[in-house]
Amino acid sequence: MKNFKPYYAVIFTSTQTEINTGYAEMANKMETLAKQQKGYIGMDSAKNEVGITISYWESLEAIKNWKANSQHLLAQQKGREQWYNWYNVRICKVEREYEFSLD
């Protein structure tokens, strides 16, 4: 953990409706757009019955700016109107990390 600097994780957990028209395209667009935002670090995602997307950010300000991005606001609105039955957002500070890899 040499030179580790704490950062933030936004954990977006959701269940979807039966309506998925345009969802994949919007999700790809939002991932591309997020990568262009100041303070963006990375993203992980998994989906079964419940979808979980975790985005990583340098600061709370970067998260606030991403949430307020006009294109992201449109995606949020469409999500509430069409794609999601339920979602939960958690914002966490990552103060330590470690990993394992066979490689």
DSSP string of the chain?
-TT---EEEEEEEEEE-S--TTHHHHHHHHHHHHHTSTTEEEEEEEESSSEEEEEEES-HHHHHHHHT-HHHHHHHHHIIIIIEEEEEEEEEEE---------
Query: Amino acid letter at 75?
Result: A
Per-residue pLDDT of the chain (103 residues; tens, 9 = 90+): 578 999 999 999 999 999 999 999 999 999 999 999 999 999 999 999 999 999 999 999 999 999 999 999 999 999 999 999 999 999 999 999 999 999 8
Using CA atoms, how far residue 66 sits from 2, 7, 37, 40, in Å, is 29, 15, 7, 9
pTM for the model: 0.91
Residue 3 is predicted with a pLDDT of: 84
Residue 63 is predicted with a pLDDT of: 98
